Amino acid sequence: MVENVSTLFRSGHQETSFTFAEKATVTPNYNFVADLYLSPKQDVLNYLDNGFPQSEREARVMIFRGAITKPDVIELVVGPLSNPSGYRHVPYQPKSLPLIDRPYSNAADSIGKVLDFLDKKLGDMLFHLYGGRLVNCGDRCLISNFVHQKMFFSITTNISMPYKKVPFPDVTQNSRRIVTSRGVPLFKKPLRDPQQVSPDGKRYNINNRHISYGFWEFDVAIAPMLGPRLNDIRYKKERIAYEISSQELANMYSGYKPSEYTAFFQDNRYKTGALSKYLVPGVDCPSDATFISSSFKMESSDEPLFNAHAFCVFELNTGIPLRRHHAYRKFVHSFYEGAETIVMIVRTIPTILLYDYTMDFIFYQNGVIETKVTTFVMVATSWYQNRFETLDIEPVVTPNEVSDDPDASIVQNMFIKRLKYSELEEATKFDFNFPKYLTFVNNNAKDKFGNSAGYRLVNNGMTKYILPPNDGNNPAVSWSQYQVAVTKYKDSEPASSNLFAHSKKPVFTFQQFIDDNENIVDQDLVTWVAMGMHHIPQKEDIPVTHITGMSRSFFFLPYNYFDESPGMAVNNAVRIDSVEKDGKTESDKIRRYGSRNNVDCS
């Protein structure tokens, strides 16, 4: 696919000539990324459910055109993949976008070398004209003003004075910034960790990208820009969801300096899926996990970027019962019944700049799906005085000194310290006045009791996004204003964010999906779930944050979908009944429902 698509565009495209990816810089035209183009949903359903022919497979290709008069970015649908012979613009978005709005590229990152380049080409001229240089300039620098901890310094010798008062930080392997094991071990004798085994082999099956596990089955893929995607998720042959996918990862920083309070990252622009790289067996995933690969056409090469360990799949004993009950009252039959919670997890971990995101899709044996994201961060800190007190989060407006609009303001989070003096003052009540039970039901599918079959959504990862929705960069992430939103499905609304999101002139905003206020009763629905957290750097974040307390998840749980819990059918259950004689317990009868419990690890 990749070779055919690249050849099509290098052989000549209207108005342009193309450069090989390996030779691309900012100015030429080149193929930035190519991925499978997803056919309209109805076409896919007709193929899956109604016996229609499969749609021709096509590619979605993003092209940077830096060599034309008005440099731009275009996205094209190219096909068929068996022999690419034509193309059309991706529907429902502008045919051309300014090149400056493009996603992050390796070629553009080379702009950081511009000072060295200018010094090499123009250094002598600048020295003769202005008496200074841009780099390697000693005390004759053309860049002469520095700011450090609210103080201005005019020359490099002045700004260096504060650093001479204290020793330079340790940057050896013993530095706290270095990620390597150190300190007193938890156990004196290095005994091996507990391990999980599958004594009878794998209980899931993987055929290419199709995964089946008990009553579950679905397809898995990873998009180079957006990240992981699951399609056609079924339980007992019934489609529970058409798609569960990552949409956007966003980080909004706050701080004192412009470099901090203007930091606003939409990570999909850094290629979330392509950065889901090698998963390490025994750490990122259990040693007996099965791995699934990915491949993309990316900017760095005209050959596919191949990753053998993009996903891992494994079963996990969670260590907590799926169900249990112990009846022990006198004069009532005594018994115990319970079953372990065993799940299958599909995992990928993209690393974008300082952030690692562990993304888990968790399938329970009772028809429940959990989607969980856990963050690991190499913290970026800001100079500030620190005290340990209760912190309240409030929005604050800061004059914007770095914008091309002198009257503009920047809105960011500010953590205000308020010391609580008494127990009553510290007690905080959240607003539980309007609890909600969010369920999705099919009004046309009733059981004998008149209940509508459905699934319930529980968002355990919600947080309050307090910045004004129309200020600063916030219009580009208007989805963050809602913990959960439900819209009618449209092919024209494929994702909550756009790779070309622009705070002033966005291609679209998520708010537009809601503002048309369409009827959602008995419609094909899309549920948009937002999860997040507020994080203040602390000493324990050094050198990298740990998993504890950093997970957020949401669940889809059956709601009158089955006649009883499907978990009753698991064959790892244990039932213990007392055998009584003359009113006394004589023995116990143990049933295991077919599962063996002997495991030989020798």
Beta strand extents in 275-368 (DSSP E only):
290-296, 305-327, 335-348, 351-352, 355-364
What b/e readout covers 218-240, taking b as 16+ CB neighbours within 10 angstroms? bebbbbbbbbbbbbbbebeeeeb
Q: Quick one: pLDDT band at residue 78, thresholds 50, 70, 90?
A: very high
The predicted pLDDT at position 353 comes to: 80
Structure tokens at 410: 């920047």
The predicted pLDDT at position 451 comes to: 86
Given a contact cutoff of 8 angstroms between Cβ atoms, the answer to whether 314 and 284 are in contact is no
- 258 or 574, higher pLDDT: 574
Q: Highest mean pLDDT range out of 145-159, 172-186, 304-318?
A: 304-318
The predicted pLDDT at position 242 comes to: 92
| Burial category of 108 from C-beta neighbours within 10 Å (exposed 0-12, middle 13-18, buried 19 and up) | middle
232 pLDDT above the threshold of 80: yes
398 pLDDT above the threshold of 70: no
CA dihedral 476, 477, 481, 484 (to 10 degrees): 130
Q: Average pLDDT in the 235-240 region?
A: 93
385 pLDDT above the threshold of 50: no
> Which part of the chain has CATH 2.70.98.20?
204-566
Contact residues for 419 (Cβ-Cβ < 8 A; gap 6+): 389, 390
Q: Highest mean pLDDT range out of 150-164, 292-306, 341-355, 465-479?
A: 341-355
The predicted pLDDT at position 422 comes to: 43
Q: Quick one: pLDDT band at residue 247, thresholds 50, 70, 90?
A: confident
Would you put residue 421 in left (φ > 0), alpha (ψ -120 to 50) or beta?
A: alpha
- 599 or 470, higher pLDDT: 470
What percent of the chain stands above pLDDT 70? Answer: 73
- 382 or 582, higher pLDDT: 582
Separation of alpha carbons 98 and 120, rounded Å? 30
The predicted pLDDT at position 212 comes to: 97
| Burial category of 521 from C-beta neighbours within 10 Å (exposed 0-12, middle 13-18, buried 19 and up) | exposed
150 pLDDT above the threshold of 90: no
> Which part of the chain has CATH 3.10.450.40?
2-103
The predicted pLDDT at position 101 comes to: 81
Structure tokens at 207: 């055929």
387 pLDDT above the threshold of 60: no
The predicted pLDDT at position 300 comes to: 74
495 pLDDT above the threshold of 50: yes
Q: What does DSSP say about strands 305-327 and 335-348: parallel, antiparallel, or unpaired? A: antiparallel
Predicted TM-score (pTM) of the model is 0.78
* 529 CB neighbour count, 10 Å cutoff: 21
- Minimum mean pLDDT among 35-39, 431-435, 475-479: which range? 431-435
**Radius of gyration of the chain from Cα atoms?**
29
Which is catalytic among the residues 355, 364, 455, 465?
355
Which is catalytic among the residues 204, 213, 261, 267?
267
For tokens 């961060």, the residue is 377
- Minimum mean pLDDT among 213-227, 321-335, 344-358: which range? 321-335
**What is the fold, at CATH topology level, of the domain defined by 2-103?**
Nuclear Transport Factor 2; Chain: A, (3.10.450)
The predicted pLDDT at position 9 comes to: 56
Whether 270 sits among the annotated catalytic residues: the reply is no
Q: Highest mean pLDDT range out of 21-25, 479-483, 535-539?
A: 479-483
| Burial category of 263 from C-beta neighbours within 10 Å (exposed 0-12, middle 13-18, buried 19 and up) | middle
Separation of alpha carbons 440 and 522, rounded Å? 10
The predicted pLDDT at position 218 comes to: 97
Q: What does DSSP say about strands 369-377 and 29-37: parallel, antiparallel, or unpaired? A: unpaired
Q: Quick one: pLDDT band at residue 172, thresholds 50, 70, 90?
A: low
| Burial category of 423 from C-beta neighbours within 10 Å (exposed 0-12, middle 13-18, buried 19 and up) | exposed
Nearest to 452 by CA among 466, 461, 442, 467: 442
pLDDT in tens, 535-569: 777 777 777 777 777 788 889 899 889 888 888 88
Q: Average pLDDT in the 265-290 region?
A: 85
Whether 355 sits among the annotated catalytic residues: the reply is yes
46 pLDDT above the threshold of 90: yes
- 161 or 286, higher pLDDT: 286
The predicted pLDDT at position 205 comes to: 97
CATH tag, 204-566: 2.70.98.20
